[in-house]
Structure 1
Amino acid sequence: MAADKSGYIVAAAFIGPGTVTTASIAGADFGFHLVWALLFSVVATMVLQDMAARLGLGTGRGLSDALLTLTQSRPLRFIAAALIISAIGIGNAAYESGNLTGAAIGLNAIVDIGTPSWAITLGVLAALLLVTGKYKLIESVLVGLVALMALVFIVTLIFASPDWSAMGKQLVSPRLDSDTITMVLALIGTTIVPYNLFLHASLVANQHKATEDSDILQACRRQSVTAIGAGGLITLVIVATAMTAFYGKPEALDAGNMGTQLAPVLGEYAQWFFAAGLFAAGLTSAITAPLAAAYAVCGALGKNTDMKGGLFRLVWLTVIICGVVIASIGVKPLLAILFAQATNGLLLPIIAVFLLVVMNKGALPAAYRNSTMSNLIGAAIVLFVVCLGLYKLAKLFV
């Protein structure tokens, strides 16, 4: 995988159907009052992904490998491996069903052969791309399609004559209460994705092995910030277009009318274009989710992360098959997705803490270790996410 695309692959991975839906609902229901959560998420993602990329460059190993080196205790290593496998491996299998379903819904809006048929077709396509190794070109095309969708949202937003004053006022009057906490956590959860930490570290490590080339380090860091920033901009624009189309208006946003956000520019073709964007976002994530699972699980088991390895292929194939089965039988994967969200919500602070520890270890070259500022920002991110989770938990019992 080309090193200059690793950050963009990570950005494309978190812009899936879940992000499109979450951002649309946030804009439609709360306008710009929750943009602060999105901005926090983007900055936090930049910080954590930068650590993951430096880890891969400095050690030539993925995040799973690095985490398991923190202790020589077999029980603790077993617990860590089990947590990684359950949260990333099983969790990504649940998310895969959502990715395939989102892409299938998009395609079915254009050619109606049924979402189960499209889910199976897309699963086969994702598997063929991964097994041949030629998925890189396809993924680049998909990233381009998502970028094109962002461009159309921007043009739509301008032509829709949004109330910029209202956006500004809502932006500086953030909300965090019992009515918004769930959406705040959803915005954070759809942007700061734990499996992307494993994916980014492994992609960079496999491309460069261990290197102390400062030019490569700086280029990787710049590209990561740029790519993740672009992903955040796409999400922000979706929030803005949904706010313009639905906020404060009698028509409520639902799965059937999400595409009307684009109606001011595209008219009767709005739903089709939105469907194409949903397909692009879904298929991109449908490729990266099993890939990340394979890197994480193989690393947790101490196995080779070569993409041509038998276990590596078995893991991503299992994730795809699980996603196809759940998506094609028409069962809403709510319980599976809830499990994935719960385990990933539990995993994020834990992984972030361990990542902070790893990034200060002497085994990492000095140029790649965390600075004091990086440690403080990383610790603040972890503390904030934990506090939000505890706040949500407390509200359940009040």
Structure 2
Amino acid sequence: MNLKNILRNLGPGPLVAAAFIGPGTVTVCTLAGANFGFSLIWAMVLSIVATVILQEISGRIGIITGSDLSALLRNQTERPVFRIFSMILVLMAIVLGNAAYESGNISGANLGLAFYWEAPTLQISNHELQSGNFLLGIFSFLLLWTGSFKTLERILVALVILMSLAFMITAALTKPDLSSLLSGFIPSWNEEEMPTLVALIGTTVVPYNLFLYASLVNKQWKSPSDLPSMRRDISISVILGGVVSMAIVIVGASNTSSEITSAIDVSKGLESVFGSFAGYMMGFGLLAAGLTSALTAPLAAGFVVCGIMGWDQEIKSTPMRITMAVIVGLGLFFSSLGIKPVQLITLAQLANGILLPLISGWIIWIAAQHGVLGKYKNTPLATGIAIFIWLITLVLGVKSVGTVFGWF
């Protein structure tokens, strides 16, 4: 199968890659490389495997049941207390979390844009309006408001491909030592690396992506015979996303900046060694990462909110448009006015820390039920592997909650 056919047969998988490679991922991977070199590359491999397994389950549930995860959660009648608690938790985590992340997505895209054009800062009363954030937020909002799903999908796929090329070309320019790079695939860690290790896995295994993919597969595939296509779609997309994340780690390890706090610092360090081209490539990668995540975060929130409430999930429906507008609007508000929503992000971290093991455990349980998936349910071996992945998400969740309360 040639590249053209592969691209033609890809489904919504690239949107999952677009969702988890945002400015947060770029920054975490940059700092992992800058602080620890290639030693945590193996953590990216683990996160890729975990993400493929969980996303395959969510995609399989979507195709076999013909329903998305939020609708399944709403229609669960056996455990009404669990159902109500889960619905409230999911709504809180998705709306709160995605609004906070949208702020970071827009701000990150603006940092990338600054490599090419420094948008003016406007003084309004006692606040500074970041016009670049405002313009990017409005651009994202208009694409979501007016674009059909297929148009949106094509834009995101194009951005993901260009972003991937930008980061991989930049990584190649650094000419990493091959033996040191390969040694990074061997698992090893120490106490100092643990927070970064948890952050690397946590930026890839994202709770709302499980809802997003289960919702999107129904727009592309309807029959169990499409399962191989779905598996190929999500595997190629997540592996590509993982390779991009590894490329960012490699770039981070090649920094020459005296102080590294973000991807921008590494870009400046690259310019001093490789010229402005590397910096421009890194800047474009950050711009694309911010834009793709700025589109997928409101889209995912719309699917989840409308699914749980039983509203129309068509992208042009009024409930979807209102939900997406709320997420983009909140993100735009915080980012344009330069407000750092620390409390909002802390609450989002707490909610998602609880949500990740809860939702991953729930879909693993559904995947093992013959009454739901019939002959397409997980085998005992697949369930065992999935439970191991769930234990990883549990550790991530405990770590996330513990960070909020200062336990760690």
Taking structure 1 as the reference length, the TM-score comes to 0.90
What does 1:191-340 correspond to in 2, within 5 Å?
191-209=204-222, 211-212=223-224, 214=225, 216-246=226-256, 251-255=258-262, 256-260=264-268, 262-263=270-271, 267-340=275-348
Alpha-carbon distance between aligned partners in 2 of 1:176 and 1:327, rounded to the nearest angstrom: 35
Alpha-carbon distance between aligned partners in 2 of 1:3 and 1:339, rounded to the nearest angstrom: 39
Partner SS, residue 111 of structure 1? coil
Deviation at 1:35, TM superposition (A): 1.8
Runs of 4+ in 1 over 6 A off after TM superposition: none
Q: How big is the alpha-carbon RMSD for the aligned residues of Structure 1 and Structure 2?
A: 2.5
Among residues 72, 79, 98, which one is paired with 1:66 in the alignment? 72
User: 1:117 is matched with which residue?
Assistant: 131
> Percent identity at matched positions?
38
Alpha-carbon distance between aligned partners in 1 of 2:396 and 2:167, rounded to the nearest angstrom: 30
User: 1:76 is matched with which residue?
Assistant: 82
Give a deviation string over 1:105-156, Cα, whole Å, max 9, x none. 2213321124721222222222221222346445534443443343344344
User: 1:187 is matched with which residue?
Assistant: 200
Alpha-carbon distance between aligned partners in 2 of 1:128 and 1:159, rounded to the nearest angstrom: 36
Q: Is the 8 A contact 1:99 1:282 kept in 2?
A: yes
Q: Which amino acid aligns with 1:111?
A: W
User: 2:391 is matched with which residue?
Assistant: 383
Q: Which amino acid aligns with 1:282?
A: G
Indicate yes or no: 2:13 matched with 1:7. yes
User: 1:42 is matched with which residue?
Assistant: 48
Moved more, 140-149 or 326-335: 140-149
Moved more, 168-177 or 341-350: 168-177
Alpha-carbon distance between aligned partners in 2 of 1:345 and 1:143, rounded to the nearest angstrom: 29
Show structure 2 runs of 5+ residues with no match: 1-7, 122-129
Alpha-carbon distance between aligned partners in 1 of 2:184 and 2:240, rounded to the nearest angstrom: 22
Taking structure 2 as the reference length, the TM-score comes to 0.88
Deviation at 1:368, TM superposition (A): 2.9
Give a deviation string over 1:209-254, Cα, whole Å, max 9, x none. 5x23x2x1101111110111000000001101211225xxx72323
User: 2:29 is matched with which residue?
Assistant: 23
Partner SS, residue 71 of structure 1? coil
Q: Relative to 1, partners in 2 of residues 1:31 and 1:326: Cα closer, same or farther, differing over 3 Å?
A: same
Alpha-carbon distance between aligned partners in 2 of 1:161 and 1:279, rounded to the nearest angstrom: 24
Q: Relative to 1, partners in 2 of residues 1:252 and 1:123: Cα closer, same or farther, differing over 3 Å?
A: same
Q: Is the 8 A contact 2:166 2:284 kept in 1?
A: no
Show structure 1 runs of 5+ residues with no match: none
User: 1:360 is matched with which residue?
Assistant: 368
Q: Relative to 1, partners in 2 of residues 1:368 and 1:263: Cα closer, same or farther, differing over 3 Å?
A: farther
